[in-house]
Amino acid sequence: MPRTRPPYPPECRQEAVRLVQSGGRSEAQVARELGVAGETLRSWVRQAEVDAGEREGLTSEEREELRRLRRENRVLRRSGRS
């Protein structure tokens, strides 16, 4: 069953990304220090770059809207089957 909320609070994610982007330590070092999986930290950094317009992709807001719309479509399809 999928998790209903992220296991790390947004403040924790932001701080981890800041530590990586400050350039003092590698992603691997920051991940070890914080007890976060390396790939998890890399995905947070990539998403922060997308949100900042530094990388192509869907922003966090766009991802959330897409999730909401997909959920809404599922509900509408189910109610149409009744």
- Convert the pLDDT of each residue in 24-35 to its tens digit: 899 999 999 999
Cβ atoms of 67 and 58 within 8 Å: the answer is no
Who's near 12: CB < 8 A, 6+ residues apart? Answer: 34
Among 9, 17, 6, smallest CA distance to 67 is for 6
H helices, E strands: number in the chain: 4, 0
Please state, in angstroms and rounded to a whole number, the distance separating the CA atoms of residues 64 and 62: 5
Reported as a single tens digit per residue, the pLDDT across 7-48 is 899 999 999 999 999 998 999 999 999 999 999 999 999 999
